């Protein structure tokens, strides 16, 4: 039997399915492009959780607010092109909450650290001690690996497929 892999996009995806010989209530399935399509820009919707760790889907459209976390995070671009801007935070500005990203009230006043332009399949480190902003001229999608935190939105009953 031949299998074909199709990589989806925000404007072009097929909702997949999985066949299990088990109780489907033990599993959660969602489509990241469907979740991103229904999300507001820069909303961080959890699609995977293991203990305190989450993968959040973010729809990137325009200029995001500035974010920072008390630990490293990673972003994986799944569709489109995203520019990541970085600013070094002073020691007193680094978030001290337990985990996850925190939306900052305004652009931090520290020195610029540079930027990364990433496209589908590129992974970007969002380092501890830095604030970051995501920018995209057209709708794009990123998965952010982080810790469950104040910006994490959980919509399990809306996004998960149960058979």
Structural domain count, the chain: 1
**91 part of a folded domain:** yes
Q: Is residue 13 part of a domain?
A: no
| Residue 112 within any structural domain of the chain | yes
Could you read off the pLDDT of 117-129 as tens digits, one per residue? 999 999 999 999 9
- Residue 36 in any domain: the answer is no
C-alpha dihedral sign at 91, 94, 96, 98: negative
Closest CA to 139 of 36, 32, 46: 36
Which of 91-110 are b and which e, b meaning 16 or more Cβ less than 10 Å from the residue's Cβ?
Answer: eebebeeebbbbebeeebee
Instruction: For residue 130, give its domain range.
Output: 48-153
115: in domain: yes
Q: Residue 101: inside a domain, yes or no?
A: yes
pLDDT tens digits along 86-143: 999 988 888 888 899 999 988 898 999 999 999 999 999 999 999 999 999 999 999 9
CATH number at residue 55: 2.60.120.10
Model's pTM, two decimal places?
A: 0.87
């Amino acid at each position: 039997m031949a299998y074909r892999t199709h990589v989806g996009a925000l404007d072009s995806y097929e909702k997949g399915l999985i066949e299990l010989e088990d109780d489907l209530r033990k599993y959660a399935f969602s489509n990241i492009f469907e979740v991103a399509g229904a999300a507001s820009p820069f909303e961080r919707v959890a699609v995977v959780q293991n203990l305190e760790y989450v993968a959040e889907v973010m729809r990137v459209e325009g200029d995001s607010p500035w974010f920072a976390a008390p630990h490293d995070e990673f972003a994986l671009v799944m569709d489109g092109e995203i520019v990541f801007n970085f600013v070094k935070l002073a020691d007193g500005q680094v978030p001290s909450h337990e985990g996850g990203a925190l939306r900052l009230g305004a652009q931090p006043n520290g020195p610029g650290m540079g930027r990364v332009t990433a496209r589908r399949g590129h992974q970007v480190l969002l380092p501890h001690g830095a604030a970051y902003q995501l920018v995209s001229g057209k709708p794009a999608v990123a998965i952010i690996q982080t810790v469950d935190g104040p910006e994490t939105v959980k919509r399990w009953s809306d996004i998960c497929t149960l058979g």
